Structure formats: structure tokens, C-alpha cells
Structure 1
């Protein structure tokens, strides 16, 4: 774990110091109360620096000229110090606007931050343009090792070959192995990170909905990760009505009718709320999980457009299932609801 107290004390010593005007190393130790361990926190917003890696920015913002000069060329240090005198750095993208700062210089900054204990093993480091935590890495690896073909290609709409290469090379053990896969670049890797980490409150809500006990006559299933193609293309014996929208012609299930308009955020939110209400969610799901999940859904769907299918099927005359599938047309964020009843 990162020694938070030590790092913060180091920052306090570095703030405001110019070239050659500060202690050259952080203190050897800090009071025990300041060395509280901090549990890893999954990155849940679309930022390029995980909380556990924020020491990279602290180092860039506060280290003296002479300290920075140990890890970077002097002309780069001059540019960094001149820029931060105006406004502090808030992201890796912000740092990259400084002349002569590119991926190699960012890795050098990461190295300095790690050496001086601004970051430690809780920060894996900068991978394909984003600084990820150990918890992020675990989520990224788990997703890539388990995700279905159809979803992975939706998450990587502009990296078809990269998706194929990931599917062929898995299982992976590190995020760097994923980033090093041919066809995976900064945008693709960030899409994967976002798919792995940004929807955890919604996933917790879906888990709670799925855990609502069924009385045998009706129920609901809600999913965040699923193989939409196999679900949409499945055939059913007694009734099989499908309406799809936004799909490529080659992806339209046989016999489906085509709806001209895509789904919007309001439609997706209304369907999730319907599934929640269908199983009397307020009686079974805690308000905290419900509110956090719905807020997460609102944030992830705001202003977005979705392709998908609405399917009603019956395997006999005494039951009915209704499936709603929605997939973001740009980043592959997807949700599915299935409600059913039986006599």
C-alpha cells in the first residue's frame, strides 16, 4: 500500500519551491498515524489517472527543479516548471500539452514518483495513455478474459483486428499484456478500462434485481455483460417476435423487423426501471444500491444512442419472455433486461 502520510508530507515540503531551494529527498518516515493504509479504489469515472496514481501529478506539480532534473532532460523540466507556475497539472492529457512531453517523458515522471514514494504497488503505472491502479488491472484482465466476442467488438468498434487478437491470445495476466496486443492502442485500451470499471454501481443493482426471489409465476433478469448476438439470434418454438434497430445488415437476426429509430437514454432508463418495478424492487433492494445504480445508469446513458433488439418469445402457450437489448453505438456499453411470466 502507498504510504499516504509520507507522500503528503513530501508534497508539503515541495510546494512552492523553485530550482535548488528545497530538501532533495522526502523524509525517511512519518508518524504512525500518518501511515494509514488505503484500500485500492476502482476507477469509476473516465479519467486518465487513477486515485492510487495521483502521486504522478503531485510529483509533477510540486517537485523542485533539481528533483525533476534527476529524471527528465533540463529543457523538459524548464517547460514543466514554467507551465505549472500558471496552473497545476490535472491529468496526463494536461501534462502532455507541455512541449517535449510525450509518452516516454510521462513514464520518466512515473519513475520519479515511484522512486520518491509518491506512488507504490497500488499504482500499476501508465499503460497506453492512462495511469491504472492494481484494482483497475484486476478488473481489466477479468473482463478481457471473459467477455463475449460480440461485446468485445462493440467495445472496440474501431479496433476489429485488436479484438480478434485479444480473443485469440487470452487468457492474460496483466494489463500491459493486453495493451501490447497488436491492434490495441490508447483509445482501445481506455475503452476496455471503462467497460471494466465504470458501471460497477449499476452492476450491483443488477445483481440485487437478479437475487429477488421468484414466486414461480414471474421474474426478471438484468445483465451488464452478455452475448447479445447469440441471444438475439436464438430461435424459439411457439412464438418468436423480434424488432431490431441500428444493426448492420449482416447482424440482423433472421425474421426480425426493423425499427428506423435508435434507442435513446430515456428508453434505456425506462426499461431498467420497468424490470426493477416488475419484481417489486423497492421491497427487496436497498435504497442505497438502487439509487447508486440508477444514478450510474443515468451518467452512462446521458446523450447516448443505442442499437439493439426487443424480443418477445414463447416456448409454449402458458409463458412469455420479453427481452430488451441495448448497446451504445460508440463505446459498446450494453444492458439487457428479460422479464417473464408463466401460468
Structure 2
């Protein structure tokens, strides 16, 4: 596949998503998780805007459906890796909300002891083995984890989440190559938000679909509307099960759009030469949260009153987690080197 066509057109896919009533329980859970991610990201945006959070924060408002859809088919034995924009993956896999906010605030109760910030998240017990700020930096780590999974023969998989900008890094292509040759249980998930950090994909590449790179390495791929959690979930299920069955890697390209700039809380900064506020407004009609709720409401699975109750409960949960994180202690200076150097066991 070379070009995305309607998938990259903000005037398409704006109606309520199509749902299967048999998936009602998952869809309700998915909606609540997407709402939690959205509220958390908006909370972080306010912390950044007010100057309380001092680390760089890359937010994924508008992209929530991808992490939630893929996470349905992952378990704690899988080895999942994120990137610089990974709050959503951390939460979707079961990472602790308060530890996330504490980490962003630099508090010792954070998931990385307050020493890493927004781009160094870790929830190993939930299968999330870390995120780093280096573009494409965790892709080869996930491939190594997939190699370990192949030797373990326990049916687990390696997973790397990354953006379309990472597809311009050589390490991705090396990772695709070795995964294909060795038939590793590896899943590549590209959140194609069309802009990388600052520039429209059509001005960086000859085609706007990244799945052509998987095709070049003989890797099966799915290209989906990334703001429809049901579509993402079904495509992920197929690729993940194939990997668990020792049939080799898979590549999932989920087309989406982040509402905010590359870093920080503003819409109109760091957003490339073609992206405008009018374009953002158009893309917001493809809101994965609102479109899923409207579908649930249309099918009489969730009422507006129930939606508002879920939203208020989530807002309270995020607010309490924020207050707890604000009150948490800072790391002690004397522990600085202990996080960097291994103890020799001698004075």
C-alpha cells in the first residue's frame, strides 16, 4: 500500500463507529480507558501550561484508540515498548495513574523514581518495559525481546509502538529485516499521525502510507482507521495471534491525528507548515471517544447520563491522583548516583 487515500482525509470517517453488540463489554471498557487517557493527558497539559511540570511532555490527545485497541490482546508476559509519546500505552496496559503523574512531576513515587520524566516510563509488572525519547530507539529493544520470547516458547510477543517519523530511521528497517528473516513473534505498531514532529508526511516521503516498508520485508500488515478502537482491536487480534502461533512478525499501521503540537500543550506550535487550526478542527470530528460513545448510545448500550457519570468518576480519579502526586516527596540527592552506578559491595 502506497497512499492512505480516505484514511488521511479529515472529512471522512466522522460518523459514529460501527460496533458489534457482542463486544459491548469490551467497548464500554475501551471507552472508559480512552476517557481516562484523555483526562490524564489534559491534566498533564495543564501542569505543563502552569509550569508545575518542568519536563518535556509529548501528548497523544486524539490518538487514544490505538493503544486501547492493541492492549486488549496483550498480557503481562508480553514485552511492550513505547516511545517519547507513551502515556497512553502505559495506562492502557495497566500502568499506575498516580505513579505516571508523580514521574512527570519528578517525585520519588513515580514509576521511574522521579528520575526519568514523561519520556522514561516503566511498568514492567504490566508488560510495559519502557519508553525512551530517542526516535525509534525502542524498536530494536522490542525485537530483542521478541527474540527472547521465541527462545522462551511461552507464546509471548515483543511489541514496539512508534510514530511515522520513526519510519525514516534506519534501525526500523534493520529491525523489520531481522524480524522477517528469523520469523520473530514481533508486532510493529505505527501511530501514523501524518506529521512526525514538525512536518507533513507528504513533504517528507513520496507516499503517505508506512506499511510499504513492511511489504518490502515480506511482513504481513494491516492499515486501519486508528480512531476506531473496534477496527484497531480486530486488526491487532489477527496480527498478534499470528505472532503467538510462531508465524512471524506483523505490522499495524493505524492512521490518526494528534490534537496538540509535537511537545507541550498548544495546538498551534510545532505543527508543520500545512497544518492549520481549521485542519485540527476538522480532524476533531473524528474524535475516537465521542464517535464510540455515539455508537453505544445509538445501540442503547450506554446513555448520556451513564456517560457523564463515567466521565465524572474519571475526573475525580485523575484529580485525586494529581493531588497525591503533588504532595509526594522529591528524590533524595544522595540517591542520585545509586540510580546510575551499580554497587560494588565495598566502601
TM-score range, shorter chain: under 0.3
**How high is the TM-score relative to the length of structure 1?**
0.21
- Bigger strand fraction: 1
**How high is the TM-score relative to the length of structure 2?**
0.21
Query: RCO greater where, 1 or 2, for CA within 8 Å and sep 6 or more?
Result: 2
Q: Which has the larger radius of gyration?
A: 1
